[in-house]
Amino acid sequence: MAELEVVIGLEIHVQLATQTKMFCSCALSFGDPPNVHTCPVCLALPGALPVVNERAIHLGLMIGMALGSELAPRSTFHRKNYFYPDSPKGYQISQYDEPLCRGGTLEGVRIHRVHLEEDAAKLIHLGSSGRIHGSQTSVVDFNRGGTPLVEIVTEPDLRSAAQAREWLELLRATLRALGVSDVNMEEGSLRADANVSLRAAGSSELGTKAELKNMNSFRYLERGIGAEVERQSAIISGGGEVEQETLHFDPASGHLTPLRSKEDAQDYRYFPEPDLVPIAITAAMLGAARAAMPELPAARAARFESELSISPERARQLAFRGDLGDFFERAVSASADGVAHARRIADWLTGEVLARLGDADPASSRLEPGALAALAALLADGVVTATAAREVLDALISDGGDPAAIVAERGLGAIADSDGLAEIVARAIAADPDTAEQVRSGNAKAIGALVGPIMRETRGRADGAELQRLIRAALGVGD
């Protein structure tokens, strides 16, 4: 059997951070009691008509610009007809053959289209406690119904679950930098569906795809796609054929279950929305969107590389997570010599700080950007060793404060005095003659057994390289 290649495309729905809904003047809401943000339009009362929110167009254009899309001079809305209690009109107003933006690319992944539409209402399952003849009841809350959405559809350019996750993280960072959305997957302001298929490696034809829904975190997205790749591989290697279907990811079990049966295949009967007129992008609209564009993660990474000599990988790590990039920049600009220590700040931020804080924004810890910069300077100047600096960092993250003061208070300064160290080295060699002999007879690795106790005794304040030099000198072994 030929090797299989994974092919993934994403469809991302982004709730826009406007004040009001897509087609009516109801304020957006999160977590309010049910049905307090409604009006004749978003309840689809008879006779009510939609009117497009101009801010949604503005934010849509910013997204298109960020993705390098072609911005349609003229775009139109269509009705996508289907019955469901969360769709009060019996259709969703969306865009069809004339979307706001077409094409574009983000980090090598091509964008198919970007279009505007409206979110569905929320359907809450009550179970059989409902009042409808003892049968199962659901309740509709229209607060969310009509929230502006941008749908971003990629070409099938992603090749693994991990890459899909990474790319989506970059997209989120980009959208966050744009300020167009809260982009919170858990809260549903960023939602991703994945189209997954397999094909013989090297083939240019696409295999039959499955559509995966409800992966409401980055981890679930990666797990869901991973599970689907496994499922399809098993089918194909068993000689079977993958069927086109929509699957629902259950985070609890990690299982994918079919969402709709085939006999209920959708026929959305798209047709031009007669209640709305076309959007014709004006020079003023383009100018306003362009003026509002911030620096985007990819450009920021390039700047970190060129201006601060950060390695490409580190630069992307910082820039693609906006909060890290912001913290980094504040640290670098906190003192006059910040730029000189930029690489060390970057290393510590993406290494030690990240290891301690995970996904949490460092700005929300007690660690001050200036303190991280000061710590980097202490390291650079040899005032503290890396081991001691880790202890200082622990203190900075839990209690805040000034690194130099912590070093002084806790006596964490590096033992710079080689005479003092020489005495400790002599004592260590005397305490472990066997190891000393091994080192002397050429076993370089054995030196670790001598270093360990000294580090313990000095609580990491000794500089490791200097220590090894002193031991070898004392034993008469060359470098």
Partner 1 sequence: MSDASEIIALSAAAAAGAVGAGDLDAGELFDAYRSRAGADPLNAFVWVAEEAPANGAGPLGGVPVAVKDLFCTEGVPSQSGSRILEGYRPPYTATVVERIAAAGGPLLGKTNQDEFAMGSSTENSAFGPTRNPWDDSRVPGGSSGGSAAAVAARLAPWAIGTDTGGSIRQPAALCGIVGLKPTYGAVSRYGMIAFASSLDQAGPLTRDVTDAALLFAAMTGARDPLDSTSLEYPAQVVLPTQRDLRGIRLGVPAELTGEGIEPGVLSSFEATLDLARELGASVEPCALPHAGHALAAYYVLAPAEASSNLARFDGVRYGYRARGASDLLSMYTQTRHDGFGDEVKRRIMLGTYALSSGYYDAYYGRAQRVRTKISEDFAAAFERFDFIVTPTAPGVAFPLGAKTADPLAMYLNDFCTVPMSLAGIPAISIPSGLAASPDGDRQLPVGFQFAAAPFREGAMLEAAFALEQAIGFDGSAAAVEL
Partner 2 sequence: MGAEGIDPDEVRHVARLARLELSGEEVERMAGELAGVLRHIATIDELDLDGVEPTSHVVSVENALRPDVPRPCLPRERALESAPEVADDGFAVPSPQA
**Residues in touch with partner 1 (CB under 8 A):** 40, 43-52, 79, 81, 83, 85, 88-91, 132-133, 135, 140, 267, 269-271, 274-277
b/e per residue 41-74 (b: at least 16 CB within 10 A): bbbbeeebebebbebbbbbbbbbbbbbebebbee
* Token pair belonging to 75: 């775009």
> C-beta of 116: minimal distance to Mg ion in Å?
10
Based on CB atoms, which residue is closest to partner 2, 83 or 202? Answer: 83
Based on CB atoms, which residue is closest to partner 1, 30 or 271? Answer: 271
> C-beta of 208: minimal distance to partner 1 in Å?
20
Q: Which of positions 250-269 make contact with partner 2 (CB under 8 A)?
A: 267, 269
According to DSSP, residue 383 is labeled S
Q: Which of positions 142-161 make contact with partner 2 (CB under 8 A)?
A: 142
Count of other CB atoms within 10 angstroms of residue 325: 24
Based on CB atoms, which residue is closest to Mg ion, 11 or 368? Answer: 11
From 310, 365, 319, select the one nearest 338 (Cα to Cα): 310
H or E element that contains 162:
helix 161-178
Distance in Å from the first CA to the final CA of the chain = 54
Quick one: what does residue 140 bind among partner 2, Mg ion, Zn ion, none, with the CB cut-off 5 to 8 Å set by partner type? Answer: partner 2
Based on CB atoms, which residue is closest to partner 2, 74 or 445? Answer: 74
Please give the single-letter amino acid code of residue 227. Answer: A
Quick one: what does residue 429 bind among partner 1, Mg ion, partner 2, none, with the CB cut-off 5 to 8 Å set by partner type? Answer: none
Taking CB under 8 A as the binding criterion, the range among 117-125, 192-200, 338-346, 422-430 that sits at the site for partner 2 is 117-125
Based on CB atoms, which residue is closest to partner 2, 138 or 203? Answer: 138
b/e per residue 197-222 (b: at least 16 CB within 10 A): bbbeeeeeeebebbbbbbbbbbebbb
Quick one: what does residue 49 bind among Zn ion, partner 2, partner 1, none, with the CB cut-off 5 to 8 Å set by partner type? Answer: partner 1
Instruction: Find the binder of partner 2 among 117, 118, 119, 141 (CB under 8 A).
Output: 141
Q: Which of positions 99-158 make contact with Mg ion (CB under 5 A)?
A: 151
Q: Which of positions 282-321 make contact with partner 2 (CB under 8 A)?
A: 282
* Token pair belonging to 322: 């906006």
> C-beta of 288: minimal distance to partner 2 in Å?
12
Q: In angstroms, rounded to a whole number, what is the distance separating the alpha carbons of residues 476 and 40?
A: 90
Q: Which residues is 249 bridged to in the sheet?
A: 256
Instruction: Find the binder of partner 2 among 4, 8, 12, 26 (CB under 8 A).
Output: 26
Q: Which of positions 13-42 make contact with Zn ion (CB under 5 A)?
A: 24, 26, 39, 41-42
Count of positions on this chain that bind Mg ion (CB under 5 A): 1
Own/partner pairs, 471-479, CB within 8 angstroms, 24+ separation? 471/425, 471/428, 471/429, 471/439, 471/447, 472/439, 472/447, 474/422, 474/425, 474/426, 474/429, 475/429, 475/436, 475/439, 475/440, 476/440, 477/439, 477/440, 477/442
If one asks whether residue 440 binds partner 2 (CB under 8 A), the answer comes out as: no
Quick one: what does residue 151 bind among partner 1, partner 2, Mg ion, none, with the CB cut-off 5 to 8 Å set by partner type? Answer: Mg ion
Q: 294: Cβ–Cβ under 8 A, 6 or more apart, which residues?
A: 177, 178, 179
Quick one: what does residue 274 bind among Mg ion, Zn ion, partner 1, none, with the CB cut-off 5 to 8 Å set by partner type? Answer: partner 1
Taking CB under 8 A as the binding criterion, the range among 19-27, 165-173, 388-396, 410-418 that sits at the site for partner 2 is 19-27
192 touches 227 (CB < 8 A): no
Own/partner pairs, 416-420, CB within 8 angstroms, 24+ separation? 416/382, 416/463, 418/466, 418/470
* Token pair belonging to 7: 């092919």
Question: Which residues are near partner 2 by CB under 8 A?
Answer: 18-20, 25-27, 33-40, 43, 51-57, 74, 76, 83-85, 123-126, 130-132, 135-142, 267, 269, 272, 274, 276-280, 282
